[in-house]
Amino acid sequence: MTGIYIHIPFCSSKCPYCDFYSFKGDEKQKDSYLKAVLSALEGYADKSIKVDTLYFGGGTPSVFGGDRIGRIVTYIRESFGLRENAEITVECNPSSTDEAFVREVKRAGVNRVSMGMQSAVDRERKILGRPSGREDIKRAVTLFKNEGIDNISLDLMLGVPYQTPESLDESIDFILSLGVKHISAYMLKIEKGTPFERDEEKLALPDEDTVADMYLHTSERLRKEGFIHYEISNFALGGFYSRHNTKYWQCEEYIGIGPSAHSYYKGKRFYYSRSFEDFLSGKEPVCDGEGGSEEEYIMLSLRLGEGLDGKKFTERYGKCLDKALFEKAEKYKKIGLLKTEGDRIFLTPEGFLLSNSIISDLLY
């Protein structure tokens, strides 16, 4: 099974914390981009490729337009072995989501939506570059639901300027009131070259300990509400994991199309450069070496709530997990950062917070 990721590099405005590849783009650029995507897909097209997830990320796919998204889905349906029950996700933001867009993507077969909410507190939204208010979020969610798309995910950011444990609860309350199936709750990271990096000193950012507490609190609250903390930053009700993103974490294949999009396909990792022009001119992706090593598999599995399963590892690599891994794990077990259950090693939410240190220690 293969996943396909389509990067939509357009945004109506650039948020000050974001370092994803995107720009405003006009209608003409969007048209040529559509052509370039279709022609890149053509390079892979083969009915025997079984595709079970399709993901439009960005950027902001909703500013690309439902019609163009529809044309891409149609092409994939005609030229690949797109599964009947495939998960088809579009990312969108509340302000560019209108009835027409919702109708068009529904018609194209989109059955999952991931909305960049980030915060439900207007003061926080504003500094994050999200001028729309919480009412717009509610409106957009309702539009999708009315159209029959109720597999909805909302993004929630932790550790944003002005955020306090109380304001975080306000955002969580709001999310719960909307009845969504999935929540991505991730801690703000100050990325190089962003306005947030430049102004870091001036931003009223909560300190590291507070952010850690916010994270644990979020996990606890959502779990109480029936969500499963199935990946470091992801929570879902039963049966509503993001199947596409799970591919990344389970070291499964995916084809990424568009500037800066990464692929792991037929054992190789490769990616398109961060250049719109290069992509339009049909420039080939850059090779990024072999993928799917044991190390990679272990590193990615440990991001998941179910963790690293010795049985699955053996099925995949034909050998047992290194004993040393379990020995090293002991010290983390003692302080509650990690647990084991038979052949399975998995991190606790406290362990997720320190996952870089733990994983790098276990691995190297």
Partner 1 sequence: MASKKENIRNFSIIAHIDHGKSTLADRLLEITDSVAKRDMSDQILDDMDLERERGITIKAHAVKLNYKAKDGEEYELNLIDTPGHVDFNYEVSRSLAACEGAVLIIDASQGIEAQTLANTYLALDHDLELVPVINKIDLPAAEPDRVAAEVEEVIGLDCMGAPRVSAKTGENVADVLERIVSDIPAPSDCDDKAPLKALIFDSVYDNYKGVIVYVRVMQGTLRAGETMRMMATGAEFNVVEVGYMRATGLEPCKELSSGEVGYITASIKTVRDAKVGDTVTKVQNLASEPLPGYRKVNPMVYCGVYPADGADYEALRDALEKLQLNDASLSYEPETSGALGFGFRCGFLGLLHLEIIQERLEREYNLDLVTTVPSVVYKIHLTDGSVVEIDNPTHYPEQASIDYCEEPITNAHIYSPADYVGSIMDLCQDRRGIFKDMKYITPDRVDIHYELPLNEIIYDFFDALKSRTRGYASFDYEIFEYRRSSLQKVDVLLNGDIIDALSFIIHSEKAMSRARKIAEKLKEHIPRQMFEIPIQVAIGSKVIARETVKAMRKDVLAKCYGGDITRKKKLLEKQKEGKKRMRQFGTVEVPQEAFMAVLKLDDNG
Q: Could you tell me if 40 and 257 are in contact, meaning their C-beta atoms sit under 8 angstroms apart?
A: yes
Cβ of residue 359: shortest distance to partner 1, in angstroms? Answer: 6
Q: Residue 254 Cβ, how far from partner 1 at the closest point, in Å?
A: 6
Smallest separation (angstroms) from partner 1 to the CB of 79: 22
Give me the DSSP letters along 80-139. Answer: EEEEEEEEEEEEE-GGG--HHHHHHHHHHT--EEEEEEE-SSHHHHHHTT--S-HHHHHH
**Which C-beta is closer to partner 1: that of 106 or that of 303?**
303
- Residues 60 and 12 sit within 8 Å (Cβ to Cβ): yes
Compare residues 76 and 304 and give the one whose CB is closer to partner 1: 304
Distance between CA atoms of residues 233 and 223, nearest Å: 13
Q: Which residues contact 106 (CB under 8 A, 6 or more apart)?
A: 147, 148, 149
* Chain residues that interact with partner 1, rule: CB under 8 A: 5, 7, 20, 57, 186-187, 189, 208-209, 211-212, 215, 232-233, 245, 248-249, 254, 256, 260-264, 269, 271, 288-289, 291, 295-296, 299-300, 303, 331-332, 335, 337, 352-361, 363-364
| Least spacing, CB of residue 142 vs partner 1, in Å | 26
Q: Are 118 and 160 a contacting pair, CB within 8 Å?
A: yes
Residue 109 identity: G
Is residue 223 a contact partner of residue 229, using CB atoms and an 8 Å limit? yes
- Cβ proximity to partner 1: between 149 and 358 the closer is 358
| Closer Cβ to partner 1, 281 or 356, answer by number | 356
Closest to partner 1 by CB, 5 vs 346, is 5
- Residue 17 is classified by DSSP as T
Tell me how far, at minimum, the Cβ of 27 lies from partner 1, in Å.
26
User: By C-beta, is 80 or 264 nearer to partner 1?
Assistant: 264
- Which of residues 196 and 352 has its CB atom nearest to partner 1 in the complex? 352
Beta carbons of 131 and 95 less than 8 angstroms apart: yes
DSSP letter for 205, please: P
Neighbours of 228 (CB within 10 A): 17
> Please, what is the minimum distance in Å from the beta carbon of residue 155 to partner 1?
10
Q: Give min distance, CB of 343 to partner 1, in A.
A: 23
